[in-house]
Chains A and B, each alone.
Chain A
Amino acid sequence: MKLNFRKTEEYFFRLVMLACTVVIVAALLVIIFSILKRGLPSLSWEMISQKPKGGFYFGKEGGILNAIMGSLYLAIGATVIAMFVGVPVALYMNVHILKRKYMVNTMRFLLDLLCGIPSIVYGAFAFTIMVMIGLRTSLLAGMLTVAVFIIPIIIRAMDEVLRTIPRGLMEASLSVGATKGEVAYKIFIRQSFPGLVTALLLSFGRAIGDAAAVLFTAGFTDNIPSSLTQPAATLPLSIFFQLGSPMEEVKNRAYAAAIILTLIVLLLSVASRYFSRRYKKHSIKF
């Protein structure tokens, strides 16, 4: 009798898990399918090789090269800046002040809060500072704003990986005379390399996909920025403006732009997996 109940229970929860999986996968497939269905016919070489010409948003010729390049510059720049700030913080938390638990836990709490703040708030905040110091919308302002909002993501993603490194590895390194800095930058960073790649990928995805933070800070332009002080267009905003058009043809182009955005993230993801696998072989498994 009892076994029977446990069997039913097991069966029931397996069904629930299966249902959840199906719902998620189906939703993803529907999204991809609808983007492809509406975007593929409008996707052309012209889209990715040309800047918008006059009247592009009313159905005239041109492409979205401005937004592709703008987005790449912005997301790569922001990720690099965020990496150089975020990775040291994550290492500091897990090597230098590891045992000051109150401090580390407070930092984790605050960082989690920062991860949860909508990016429009970061954008608005950056905008008020820009007004104060008289900076105009520019690639640099956009990069910095996006960097600020992905830094907590990088730190927490790295932190979660670094936390799993057992103390024995640190003690082993210290006992051959290593300083804490050497433990952090010669040992821990190697051990957590696959985690670092994941953290960077995660934040790059957020950076390239975000529209709200760059709306006030990077602006929008039909040109490809040639310096950090010029405004820059971004793919999400480009999608937004095209979707806002009343013309069906322009709307379809927005979906094509969405395909391009998805492809960029996909390419990067595949490439980084390849690189992280090459370095993973040295990581100690615990």
Chain B
Amino acid sequence: MSETIKINIRDLNLHAGKNHILKNVNISVPKNKITVILGPSGCGKTTLLKTLNRLTDLNPEIRVTGSIQIDEEDILHTTSDIHDIRKRMGLLSQRPYPLPMSIFNNVAFGLKISGRRRKKILHKRVEHYLRQASLWDEVQHRLREPAISLSIGQQQRLCLARGLAVDPDIILADEPTSALDPVSSAAIEEKFIELKNNYTIVVVTHILRQARRIADHVVFMYMGEVVEQGPAAEILHNPQMEKTRQYLNGAFY
């Protein structure tokens, strides 16, 4: 089965001041699959994810070269509006950051700022995305309550709903379960497997078992370089590189 490439990263280099953080990174992310970026802490996984979303623009010290093609469009050198690019990717961070407003408005925020304000439509869409994030049943009677009244696992699913609400085709997740309890973590993982039919998902993690559970495609990074990448079964069970093997055997974290 041939797979379509959704995100094509070519010769990506990232410098922050004098530090060379990402070194000649080349990654192909297949469409409608879960791609897991594995690697020890400090290897540049999170930075890579932020580069995809161009959150790295915020820091004037960071210089990025190379290209990141999403559906044939190089998002690093494009005339498209940066805000439209970011909207194409939902982001889940290490711990949930709900917005300081009600549960309803958290999901509606992205819709409202992109100009959809009709109350009836808003309400329908909010319900739809809360259902997609498996949160609707728990919150349908308390939509006006502040988002912080939710448990942390619910907050993370709320953030997922908020991200889905602006209709992205990619989901970026940066260790999305690291602050969650096992049950909430499992809920997020199940959600990803369900969502991959419609979305391309990139997950950064350092939890090997999580990678084994959800990955279709694995990228192993070490010290800012891609060591090895390929289908999950190959990389996780039969790695070609010594470094990958050591990591999988728990030689370092």
Q: Which of A99, A172, A179 has the most CB of B within 10 A?
A: A172
Flag if A177 contacts B91 (CB, 8 Å).
no
Flag if A172 contacts B113 (CB, 8 Å).
no
> How far is it, in angstroms, between the C-alpha of A174 and the C-alpha of B166 when the chains are bound?
12
**Chain B residues near A176 (CB-CB < 8 A):** 86-87, 90, 109-110, 113, 162-163, 165-166
The answer to whether residues A171 and B110 also contact, given A177-B86, A283-B100 and a CB cut-off of 8 A, is no
B contact patch SS:
mixed
Cβ of B78 < 8 Å from any Cβ of A? Answer: no
Q: When each residue 139-173 of chain B gets 1 if its CB lies under 8 Å from chain A and 0 otherwise, what string results?
A: 00000001110000000000100110110000010
Flag if A177 contacts B84 (CB, 8 Å).
yes
What is the number of contacts between chain A and chain B, taking CB atoms within 8 Å? Answer: 88
Flag if B83 contacts A187 (CB, 8 Å).
no
Cβ of B59 < 8 Å from any Cβ of A? Answer: yes
> How far is it, in angstroms, between the C-alpha of A169 and the C-alpha of B96 when the chains are bound?
9
Cβ of B61 < 8 Å from any Cβ of A? Answer: yes
Cβ of A173 < 8 Å from any Cβ of B? Answer: yes
Cβ of A98 < 8 Å from any Cβ of B? Answer: yes
Cβ of B253 < 8 Å from any Cβ of A? Answer: no
**Chain A residues near B159 (CB-CB < 8 A):** 172
Cβ of A284 < 8 Å from any Cβ of B? Answer: yes
- Residue on B nearest A177 in the bound complex, by CB: B87
Cβ of B125 < 8 Å from any Cβ of A? Answer: no
> Which of A166, A172, A281, A283 is B91 in contact with, Cβ under 8 Å?
A172
Flag if B91 contacts A173 (CB, 8 Å).
no
Nearest CB of chain B from residue A220's CB, rounded to whole Å:
45
The answer to whether residues A177 and B97 also contact, given A99-B58, A171-B55, A284-B148 and a CB cut-off of 8 A, is no
* Interface residue tally on B, bucketed by range: 35 or more
**Chain B residues near A182 (CB-CB < 8 A):** 113
Flag if B93 contacts A171 (CB, 8 Å).
yes
A: number of interface residues (CB 8 Å): 26
Flag if A99 contacts B97 (CB, 8 Å).
no
Q: Which of A100, A176, A177 has the most CB of B within 10 A?
A: A176
> How far is it, in angstroms, between the C-alpha of A175 and the C-alpha of B91 when the chains are bound?
6
Flag if B101 contacts A168 (CB, 8 Å).
no
- Residue on A nearest B165 in the bound complex, by CB: A176
Flag if B100 contacts A282 (CB, 8 Å).
yes
Cβ of B224 < 8 Å from any Cβ of A? Answer: no
Nearest CB of chain B from residue A115's CB, rounded to whole Å:
28
Flag if A173 contacts B93 (CB, 8 Å).
no
- Residue on B nearest A99 in the bound complex, by CB: B59
A265-286 contacts to B, CB under 8 A, are 281-285
Flag if A173 contacts B84 (CB, 8 Å).
no
Cβ of B177 < 8 Å from any Cβ of A? Answer: no
Flag if B99 contacts A179 (CB, 8 Å).
no
Residues of B within 8 A of A (CB): 50, 53, 55, 58-61, 83-84, 86-87, 89-91, 93-95, 97-102, 109-110, 113-114, 146-148, 159, 162-163, 165-166, 172
28 contacts between A and B (CB under 8 A): A99-B58, A168-B95, A170-B58, A171-B55, A171-B97, A172-B97, A172-B99, A172-B162, A173-B109, A174-B58, A175-B53, A175-B55, A176-B86, A176-B87, A176-B110, A176-B113, A176-B166, A177-B110, A178-B83, A178-B109, A179-B83, A187-B99, A190-B101, A282-B102, A282-B146, A283-B148, A284-B99, A284-B100
Q: A168-B93, A171-B53, A175-B172 are in contact. List 8 more A-B contacts (CB 8 A).
A: A99-B61, A173-B99, A177-B84, A179-B83, A182-B113, A284-B97, A284-B98, A284-B100
